[in-house]
Amino acid sequence: EAQVTQNPRYLITVTGKKLTVTCSQNMNHEYMSWYRQDPGLGLRQIYYSMNVEVTDKGDVPEGYKVSRKEKRNFPLILESPSPNQTSLYFCASSFRVRGRNAYEQYFGPGTRLTVT
Amino acid sequence: SQQGEEDPQALSIQEGENATMNCSYKTSINNLQWYRQNSGRGLVHLILIRSNEREKHSGRLRVTLDTSKKSSSLLITASRAADTASYFCASYNAGKSTFGDGTTLTVKP
């Protein structure tokens, strides 16, 4: 089954304790992204990757790191989490629709992170 | 504010009625996408309209795009209780993506 998986789905942690949220897709998509979703603010892109070893900042990259060593995986790393990073996080992958400049994103189920 | 602002923020209708949601954006786009999100879950892609298209249909969904006004609308016809969800528009180009704040639709049975 084609899907994007994220782990863990729920995480409660304390300020300053490094954590990694994993993301994996089995669709051989080139593009992957991380978003955070907060009430009243919609989805905001944190980082994205256009291919292996190619990453770029989205709108809210501060406090986050990513890596893309393999095509299928795109982990999100919080080196020193803070309470303002409490949020719902989504990973997504995408492909170009019919060879044109149009992309359809597939989203993972989300990771609810609480930093105390 | 973000590119991609949906209007209204919340919409409540009776089953069988049509629901219209609007989205405005600020910068040039190659395409505009609409997504649906059930409470707390991942987003699901509904429909994509390219910048050279004016209207697109998919089942009970109809999307229009007016690039001169930088706006798009999503129409859901003959709504069902199962259509209750949040709906987002988004621009996307080679990885960079911007989502609107969403419209929360409630369809009462």
Mutate to test the interface with A, among B21, B97, B99 (most CBs of A within 10 A): B97
Q: At CA A107, angle to CA A104 and CA A112, rounded to 5?
A: 155
CA–CA gap between residue A1 and residue A95 (Å, rounded): 16
Tell me the pLDDT of chain A (116 aa) as tens digits: 889 999 999 999 999 999 999 999 999 999 999 999 998 788 999 999 999 999 999 999 999 999 999 999 999 999 999 999 999 999 999 987 766 666 788 999 999 999 99
Q: How far is A90 from chain B (nearest CA, A)?
A: 7
| Token pair listed for B66 | 């007016």
Partner residue opposite B43 with nearest CB, options A56, A102, A107:
A107
Picking from B37, B65, B42, the residue whose alpha carbon sits closest to that of residue A106 is B42
Q: Does A70 touch chain B (CB under 8 A)?
A: no
CA–CA gap between residue B77 and residue B74 (Å, rounded): 10
pLDDT digit string, tens, across residues B75-91: 999 999 999 999 999 98
Is B41's CB within 8 Å of A109's CB?
yes
Could you tell me whether strands A4-7 and B55-58 are parallel, antiparallel, or unpaired per DSSP bridges?
unpaired
pLDDT digit string, tens, across residues B22-77: 998 887 888 899 999 998 788 999 999 988 999 999 999 999 999 999 999 999 99
